[in-house]
Amino acid sequence: MLTFTNSLRLTAAAFAATALCGCEAREMGVNFADQQAKSVDNSWVTAINTCWPDVAHQGYSLEGMKRYLADPLHFRAAFSTYSALNDSELRTVVTRPVMAAPPPDSSLLSHSQTAVFTRSQAISGVNQQNASATDNTTAAPTDALCAIHSGTPVGFR
C-alpha cells in the first residue's frame, strides 16, 4: 500500500490545484512560469552580463543563461524595466534582439543608487564608468534598460 508523507501530499495537492484551476506558477510559489520562450536572443545574455556582472562569474553556460531568461519570472527579476509586460509579451520580447524590444520603463531607474545602462550600452558591454547615469542625482535616460546590480537576479542558481 502506498503512503504519502506530508510533503508528498502538499506537492500532489499543488500539482492538482494548478492542473484544475489553471493557476499561474507564481501564484503557487513555483520556481518557473507555466511556459517559457522558445528561444532567447544572445543580446539578452550580453545585457544580463553587463547589468549583473556577478552572473558572468558564476559559471553559467550560454544555454543555462538562456534557460533562465526564457522564463518570464526570471526575466522580470533580471530586467525590472520590463516588469509591466505580461508573460506572453515577455516570451516574444526575449526571442528578438534587445534593440528590437519595446522601450523599457526607465522611470523605474530614476535616481538609481548605482550606474544605469541604456539598451545599447548593455549590449555593447560597457563598464560602469561609461554608464549614462552614474549617481542618484541623475535622472535615468529614456532608453535605460538596467542599473548595475551585485549578486544574481532572484531565482538564478
The verdict on residue 22 lying in a domain is: no
Evaluate whether 147 touches 134 at the Cβ level (below 8 Å): no
Burial class (CB in 10 A: 0-12, 13-18, 19+), 62: exposed
pLDDT value at residue 6: 37
Domain that residue 47 falls in: 32-147
pTM over 0.85: no
The verdict on residue 42 lying in a domain is: yes
pLDDT (mean) for 30-42: 73
pLDDT value at residue 3: 45
The verdict on residue 39 lying in a domain is: yes
The verdict on residue 81 lying in a domain is: yes
Label residue 30 by pLDDT band (50, 70, 90): very low
Task: Say whether pLDDT at 2 is over 60.
Answer: no
The alpha-helical segments, DSSP class H, found in 4-130 are: 6-21, 42-51, 53-56, 62-69, 72-78, 87-93, 119-124
Query: Higher model confidence: residue 134 or residue 90?
Result: 90
The total number of structural domains that make up the chain: 1
The verdict on residue 6 lying in a domain is: no
Cell digits of residue 62? 550560454
The verdict on residue 21 lying in a domain is: no
The verdict on residue 122 lying in a domain is: yes
CA–CA distance, 27 with 19 (Å, rounded to integer): 13
* Least confident among 38-47, 58-67, 77-86, 93-102: 58-67
